């Protein structure tokens, strides 16, 4: 086991809780589900929509037939993937409340025949091996209790030569973006998040979990350790988010 893995800080949403990290993450997303989409678009000033579009554009030339959107939440990425005209999109998430909102959105867009949303754990997928041409995870891997187990499970369910794309927050390095980002993410987001979602910890956890999560080459290393090849990394919007691409 590599030393960075051992040193990775464990950040949980509710510090005093006796629940496991996974149970806390599920509870937190169940709590904020009804406000999640609004807060996402509001706090990111709508840039999150462009980031998800970028992920889908990267998959365009692959023309994937079977797509899995892990940690799909309210299904924004799964819905965006419908543009690729695949045969099937499956979205999996731990949180029943996030999925309930996702299901309504899918139905409202007449996509229920194409997109199937199901409760499940990225670390133990009830899905067959070698099935998916493409797997996406938007802002989800950071929440996995065991990142490496999740990555290996995703590898297992992917077809050979399939494409895996992670979209995740990262930390800008350049002045003054870094300073503005820190202030906004650490001070403003938790305040607004608390007021609107009524969850006192969720948006503090957001900042803490991003701070503790590996980024750049460290993520590529973890992907390679899980078996992926041709790993690439692309910072978006001054490095506020990053896209990681890998091939099975």
Ligand X SMILES: C[S@@+](CC[C@H](N)C(=O)[O-])C[C@H]1O[C@@H](n2cnc3c(N)ncnc32)[C@H](O)[C@@H]1O
How far the first Cα of the chain sits from its last, in Å, is 22
> Which one of 122, 163, 170, 197 is in contact with ligand X (CB under 6 A)?
122
The site map against ligand X for 39-78 (x = CB under 6 A) is -x------------------------------xxx--xx-
- Which residue bears the tokens 């369910």? 157
| 138 belongs to the binding site for ligand X (CB under 6 A) | yes
Select 127 or 161, whichever has its Cβ closest to ligand X.
Answer: 127
Total residues contacting ligand X by CB under 6 A comes to 22
The site map against ligand X for 97-116 (x = CB under 6 A) is -x------------------
Taken in order 53, 55, 59, 61, the sign of the CA dihedral is: positive
Rounded to whole angstroms, the Cα distance separating 22 from 145 reads 6
Rounded to whole angstroms, the Cα distance separating 22 from 132 reads 25
| Choices 138-146, 157-165, 185-193, 211-219; region in contact with ligand X by CB under 6 A | 138-146
| 208 belongs to the binding site for ligand X (CB under 6 A) | no
* Minimum gap (Å) between residue 153 Cβ and ligand X: 9
Beta strand 229-236 pairing with 158-169:
unpaired
- Which residue bears the tokens 């037939």? 65
Q: Are 111 and 79 in contact (CB under 8 A)?
A: yes
| 123 belongs to the binding site for ligand X (CB under 6 A) | yes
Rounded to whole angstroms, the Cα distance separating 66 from 86 reads 6
> Which residue ranges make up the site for ligand X (CB under 6 A)?
25-26, 29, 40, 71-73, 76-77, 92-95, 98, 121-123, 138-140, 143-144
């Amino acid at each position: 086991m590599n030393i960075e893995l051992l040193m990775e800080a464990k950040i949980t949403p509710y510090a005093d809780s006796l629940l496991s990290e996974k149970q806390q993450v599920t509870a937190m997303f169940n709590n904020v589900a009804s406000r999640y989409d609004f807060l996402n678009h509001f706090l990111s000033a709508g840039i999150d929509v462009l980031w998800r579009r970028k992920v889908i554009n990267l998959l365009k030339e692959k023309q994937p037939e079977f797509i899995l959107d892990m940690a799909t939440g309210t299904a924004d990425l799964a819905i965006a993937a419908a543009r690729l005209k695949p045969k099937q999109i499956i979205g999996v998430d731990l949180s029943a409340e996030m999925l309930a909102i996702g299901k309504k959105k899918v139905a409202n867009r007449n996509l229920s025949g194409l997109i199937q949303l199901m409760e499940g754990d990225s670390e133990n997928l009830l899905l067959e091996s070698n099935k998916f041409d493409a797997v996406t995870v938007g802002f989800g891997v950071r929440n996995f209790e065991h990142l490496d187990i999740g990555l290996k499970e995703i590898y297992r369910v992917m077809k050979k030569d399939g494409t895996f794309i992670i979209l995740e927050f990262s930390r800008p390095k350049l002045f003054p973006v870094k300073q503005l980002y820190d202030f906004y993410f650490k001070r403003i987001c938790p305040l607004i998040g608390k007021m609107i979602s009524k969850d006192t910890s969720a948006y503090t956890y957001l900042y803490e979990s991003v701070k503790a999560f590996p980024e750049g080459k460290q993520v590529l290393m973890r992907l390679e350790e899980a078996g992926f090849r041709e790993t690439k990394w692309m910072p978006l919007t001054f490095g506020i988010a990053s896209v990681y691409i890998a091939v099975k």
